[in-house]
Structure 1
Amino acid sequence: MKKQAFLLLLALGTSPAWAQQATVSGPDNQLKVDITVEAGTPFYSVTYKGKTMLEKSPLGFVSNVGDFSQGMTYISQKNRTLEETYRMDRTKQSEVNYRANELTVTLQNAEQKPIDVTFRVSDNDVAFRYEIPRYGDTGSIVIERETTGFDFPSYTTTFLTPQSDPMIGWKRTKPSYEEEYTPDAPLTTRSQYGHGFTFPGLFRIGEDGWALVSETGVDARYCASHLSDATTEGLFTIAFPMPEENNGNGTTTAGLALPGTTPWRTITVGDGLKPIVETTVPWDVVKPRFTSGHTYKYGKGTWSWIVWQDASINYDDQVRYIDLASAMGFNYALIDNWWDTNIGREGIEKLVKYARSKNVELFLWYSSSGYWNDIVQGPTNRMDSPIERKQEMKWMQKIGVKGIKVDFFGGDKQETMRLYESILSDADDYGLMVIFHGCTLPRGWERMYPNYVGSEAVLASENLIFNQHFDDMEAFNACLHPFIRNTVGCMEFGGTFLNKRYNRTNDGGTTRKTTDIFQLATAVLFQNPIQNFAITPNNLTDAPQLALDFLKEVPTTWDETVFLDGYPGKYVVLARRHGDRWYIAGINAGKEPLKLTLNLPMCQKGDKVSFYSDAKDRTPQLEQQEIKKPAEVKVTIQPEGGVIWVK
């Protein structure tokens, strides 16, 4: 009997029923993904150091060539090890060593059509996607919906921002990823508009677990997606764009030529926030879409519109901002909306020549289109049309413009993703860098597109001008972005104000609540290779000299980023290295002084550093400080204030 039982177990161990599971772990074996097929439904789950980060979560999709979410059968698996070193010049780290283990599981649906699900697992990151072969004469597929899910333990809390209603807001331009976050919300809290939440999403899993969920590698071949509302059991699923986005133009589904792949969905996990802040997974798993024959220069710029608004878009005021950029040693000046009517093309050509005489280059603003919103600010109806777009870009190249800022996209449909990519591709042909505003989240674009230099996709600096509520919440929001929005992509925030009041004469409008050092610290905390700062010409005489000197020297590109301490919405301290120089910045969103003891591993005993801080009366101060115990550096950050060490 014992021999018969052994033979029965041996037979079960090699049968398809027994084999419908697979496992892959990261290189250090702490992060593990299990894939199973149960009653025809594929699932995956994630553990880190033995702790459940994601419970059994569904995989699959429904398409016009078959249902790949149910009736599925496990067929086979294959494994390989990945190791790659690549360089980036526009993100948080300039040289990345990516090591991961890859598992590809082949599944088959009830019609015997196969798909592959590929997982790449590094020490703290999971990335996965669907890979779809050609089915005989079927050379294309429409993915109607995904069942891909993220099922968190019930005790998880969330840091999420809602996907807005379509066709609302300024001139019906939403969704534009500019809604407010709710911190530490219960897992099943419903979204404000009932459409779920935008990527990325941050989740706290008990006392010692964190996860960041996002996607990367979205281009013209797929739509961008977001998270649905959670079910009562805490399951979020992938949600496609809404039909009304972009005024109803374009489909809500994704169309692929076969063979084809979906974007990568990513999950970064840790028992603290360090892996979240330092992750490079948005770029690890993507490849460049094209190479460039141009060399692009990054740096700082001035931007009249952010404080002086529409009235500043005239020739004389732009000269003042070009002069400001020159006085500060900045590379660029951005000329915003209405330049086509208020300055004119001949005036722009004169401004380019004047700016170049001052060693300053120009960016020009464009509307993305006119037929999917009600925007009247010009130029409109240029960037959405290949013919007009290339005409504009040829003209800009001829006169010496270096970049464009394209605004008001208002949707995540595949058609809109195609527009983003077309603008980037055409702009590179003419040597132009591209900033997107009123737009979607960048999804690996810093590595995919050589001339991409930033996206807004956040409740950014312009809101501080429009409503005092956002000034009251500025410190709270600033303490979220390094953990969520800015950790997965460049963030064109347009901040660092030195005005106390937000109007042309610095004596009216909304009131800044944060200190000058807080503002300087965000120049380090907020990462974007082109930083259009919100300083104004009057700051040359009314701002502290130490603030001006700091902005003259602070870089906009980084070789290394190290998370030191913080909690989303409360405070954050991180360090960034440019060359051999470290900038360590911290801010406090609280209403009371914050006392911290920090470990600064980039410092050694006896190091002399420049230390910027706020006095008790909130005035900025700069002193030379000697580091005595790098592992125990004590500091107090004033309410809505900041600190900076420069080594």
Structure 2
Amino acid sequence: MKYTLLIAFIFISSQVFAQEVAQVASPDGLVKVSLVIEDGKLFYSVNYDQKTMLDKSPLGLETNAGSFIDQLSFVKTKTGKVDQSYNQDRIKKSDIQYKANTLTYTIKNEADQEISVHFQISDNDIAFRYELPMWKETKGIVVEKEITGFRFPTSSTAFLSNMMRPMTGFARTAPSYESGYVTDEPIDKTNARLGYVFPGLFKVGNDGWVLLSETGVGSNYTAAHLSGIQDGVYTVSYPQMEQNNGFGSTGAQLGLPSHTPWRTITLGSSLKPIVETTISYDVVEPLYEASQDYKYGKGTWSWIIWQDNSMNYEDQIKYIDMAAAMDFEYILIDAWWDERIGYDRMEELIQYANSKGVDVFLWYNSNGTANDAFQTPLNKMNTSIARKKEMKWLQKAGVKGLKVDFFGGDKQETLRLYEDILSDANEYGLMIIFHGATLPRGWERMYPNFVGSEAVLASEMLVFVQDTREKEAFYATLHPFIRNSVASMEFGGIILNKYLNRGNQRGQERLTTDIFQLATGVLFQNPVQMFGLTPNNLTDVPAFELEFLRKLPTTWDETIHIDGYPGKYSVIARRSGSNWYIAGVNAEADAKTLKLNLPMLKGKKISLYNDDKKREPSMKTIEAGKNGEVTVTIQSRGGFVLTDH
């Protein structure tokens, strides 16, 4: 039976002991969720293909007007179905069909207050949230905590990135969501005191994979993370009080009736559904209409390699000229532009860029209160009056987008700031990239002018930290399975200098190959990509690399998992229109030869970008086998790209 609902009543001795069990399955019947109340507490469990993925895990929340953790009793269930299709132009896939079976399980506490847990079960994906009706005369509440938990089989291992300690690091800007990862770590060792960011990936023995995350978080709630494991369970945890300089509640303020964000679980016997999931977008809706058609594309960015000293008129001219030479759509002008170039000359610079067919993104500091970040422009984005005044000038000057940096954490107070910036920017025709920011949680669909967030140990740390350079390939193999699986990721990559500085002769040596860098342009998905090229690359790298970048899309119509293992190697295929790009990178110590089955390329002549044994870049034309078989060798810290474009 593909869709089941069961309510069971169990009688023991002469005393009635009721267990209200409900079960719901995915349309293909492989995913099954069971709910039960035992001893007044609510639990759920998850099976995939008759194998346990999550054992009896707790559900419930605590509010300042009522508790739903224990002494609970069953009220009713309701079932249904969802069948919808939508188009999305800024994620891993453009045309999505979402089908799910639903179960709403309603409970009440001792005070007869009711809440429901609403589940939507699609093939390989589970989304659930708490739904809160009106309680008598109660209208406004604060959700103080959840006990929503995830109990994996004890043989499971974890791939997790830890939460950063608030108000530490550069100018007390942490958490900036730029931690490394533990990989294949036995779950009983994943007990970090501050917990772990979403998403988190888990390998359930030999039975399959599970990805945990959340979506649909805007000004309506706080963003959450995973606790460290306690008594075998990870729980949904709210922000630490120290975030946002100690200002604001750690809980969520709601007006009833209302609901929490969605908790999402993606699962399967392989990594394929993890890479290809769209659940972050399937269960959310746009919050407003786009004020115009936004244009996506590639850009140049001086700060990443040439750093603060490049923030002058003359250097920005060089980067505009490079963008024009590369047929890129944008230039990003970073911190200090207001002081070192000025508003009047910036208008001149924008006019010059436009004369070259290049549009402009400008950098802003998000606030003046949540941390000690001092870069300017400062105090332009954190209040409505200042923000709208600035955005009016930005629109008049012809700016197309902003990169807003240095946010204060995951409290609802900060989530409101994200949403206010996005909503106001749309009114002035501005796209938004967030930096030093939290994970986007369905934002590509919720906010039509949102075009990416960092929320990752990104390219700037390659410049600053030797350990990050040494682990660049390692981290790159993780992102398609974890961070970039649930949201766009503005990494700021494709660095072709041999040394990550302006001189490009000594210092911070890049340890990955040129082809590795090109491959990440396919592996890392974001609709607006600001690349780390420098003007000297126009003459000091092979012409075929530059031509590849000129043609490289930044939006995709389809994404397919091909091969890989997080932390070792990754191969994925993406389609833009009728053109396919298959890219892979290798983090292992030795070269890796793969026999790939690529039916989308069968019988075609294709371009292979690859490294030779000396790690030198090459490009040649090959022909895929009649069934699409292609054999490639990926050098250590190297990569490859196959394309029919």
Measured against the shorter chain, the TM-score band is over 0.9
Does 2:234 match 1:240? no
Aligned-partner SS, 1:347: helix
Question: What is the Cα deviation at residue 633 of structure 1?
Answer: 2.3
Aligned partner of 1:195: which letter? L
Report the AA paired with residue 317 of structure 1. Answer: D
Counterpart selection for 2:637 from 632, 636, 640: 640
Aligned to 2:195: 196
Query: Which whole-Å deviations, capped at 9, do the CAs of 1:249-292 have from their partners, x for residues lacking one?
Result: 11111111100000000000010000000000000001111112
Q: Please state how far the C-alpha of 1:601 moved relative to its aligned partner.
A: 2.3
Corresponding residue for residue 83 of structure 1:
83
Tell me, what secondary structure is at the counterpart of 2:293? coil
CA distance in 1, matches of 2:378, 2:157: 43
**Residue 344 (structure 1) aligned to one of 342, 345, 352:** 342
Deviation at 1:461, TM superposition (A): 0.1
1:599 aligned onto 2:597: yes
> Which residues in structure 2 correspond to 1:146-161 (within 5 Å)?
146-161=146-161
SS at match of 1:211: strand
Q: Is the 8 A contact 1:382 1:388 kept in 2?
A: yes
| Residue equivalent to 1:252 | 250
Look up the match of 1:584.
Answer: 582
Aligned partner letter, 2:425: A
TM superposition shift of 1:16: 9.2
- Contact residue 21 and residue 36 of structure 2 kept, 8 A: yes
Give the Cα separation in 1 of the matches to 2:614 and 2:299. 31
Residue 143, structure 1, aligned to residue 143, structure 2:
yes
Question: Judging changes above 3 Å, is the alpha-carbon distance between structure 1 residues 9 and 47 closer, same or farther for their aligned structure 2 residues?
Answer: closer
Change (3 A) 1:438 1:10: closer
- 1:632: Cα distance to partner? 3.6
Q: What code does the residue aligned with 2:363 have? A: W
Q: Which amino acid aligns with 1:287?
A: E
Contact kept? 1:61, 1:69, Cα under 8 Å: yes
Letter in 1 for 2:572: L
Query: Normalized against structure 1, the TM-score is what?
Result: 0.97
Distance between the aligned counterparts of 2:628 and 2:452, measured in 1? Answer: 35
**Deviation of 1:602 (Å):** 1.2
Determine the structure 1 residue equivalent to 2:615: 618
Alignment check: 8 A CA contact 1:162 1:191 kept: no
Moved more, 537-546 or 503-512: 503-512
Contact 1:465/1:509 (CA < 8 Å) preserved in 2?
A: no
Following superposition, the deviation at residue 110 of structure 1 comes to: 1.0
Residues 187 and 541 from structure 1, CA distance in 2 versus in 1: closer, same or farther, beyond 3 angstroms?
A: same
* Aligned residue in 2 for 1:101: 101
Residues in 1 aligned to 2:507 and 2:431: alpha-carbon distance in whole angstroms: 33
* Structure 1 residue identity aligned to 2:225: H
Q: CA RMSD in A?
A: 1.4
Give, in whole Å, the separation in 1 of the partners of 2:162 and 2:309: 33
SS in structure 1 opposite 2:145? strand
State the shift of 1:10 in Å: 10
Alignment-derived partner of residue 54 in structure 1? 54
Residue 68 of structure 2 corresponds to residue 71 of structure 1:
no
Counterpart for residue 43 of structure 2: 43
Aligned match of 2:221 = 222
Does the C-alpha gap of structure 1 residues 9 and 363 become closer, same or farther in structure 2, counting only changes over 3 Å?
closer
For 1:471, the equivalent position in structure 2 comes to: 469
Give unpaired runs (5+ residues) of structure 2.
1-7
**Match runs of 1:491-502 below 5 Å:** 491-502=489-500
Q: How many Å separate the matches in 2 of 1:290 and 1:9?
A: 46
Q: In structure 2, which of residues 285, 310, 313 is the aligned counterpart of residue 312 of structure 1? A: 310
Question: Could you report, residue by residue, the CA deviation over 1:560-579 in whole angstroms, capped at 9, with x for unpaired residues?
Answer: 00000000010000000000
How far apart, CA to CA, are the structure 1 residues paired with 2:627 and 2:150? Answer: 40
Structure 2 length as normaliser, TM-score?
0.97
Question: Contact (CA 8 Å) 1:16, 1:74: kept in 2 or not?
Answer: no
Aligned-partner residue type, residue 241 of structure 2: P
Confirm or deny: 8 A CA contact 2:9 2:18 kept in the other structure: no
| SS of aligned partner of 1:463 | helix
| Cα distance in 2 for residues equivalent to 1:172 and 1:547 | 39
For 1:212, the equivalent position in structure 2 comes to: 211
Q: Is the 8 A contact 2:11 2:18 kept in 1?
A: no
* SS in structure 2 of the partner of residue 440 of structure 1: coil
Cα distance in 2 for residues equivalent to 1:418 and 1:348:
30
Give the AA of the match of 2:358.
Answer: V
**CA contact 2:249–2:411 (8 Å) conserved in 1:** yes
Q: Which amino acid aligns with 2:212?
A: V
Specify whether residues 318 and 20 from structure 1 end up closer, same or farther in structure 2 by C-alpha distance, changes over 3 A only. same
* Cα distance in 2 between the residues matched to 1:208 and 1:11: 34
What's the offset of the Cα at 1:9? 9.0
Contact persistence 2:475–2:567 (CA under 8 A): yes
Separation (CA, whole Å) in 2 of partners of 1:616 and 1:391:
56
Which residue of structure 2 aligns with residue 33 of structure 1? Answer: 33
* Aligned partners of 1:191 and 1:197 also within 8 Å: no
Displacement after TM superposition at 1:186 (Å): 1.0
Runs of 4 or more above 6 Å deviation: 8-12
* Residue identity in the other structure for 2:92: K
The residue that corresponds to 1:428 in the other structure is 426
Structure 2 letter corresponding to 1:73: S
Report the Cα offset of residue 17 of structure 1: 5.2
**Which residue of structure 2 aligns with residue 445 of structure 1?**
443
**Mind listing any 5+ residue stretches in structure 1 that lack a counterpart?**
1-7
Match of 1:509 among 496, 507, 510: 507
* Superposition deviation, residue 147 in structure 1: 0.7
Instruction: Report the Cα offset of residue 18 of structure 1.
Output: 4.5
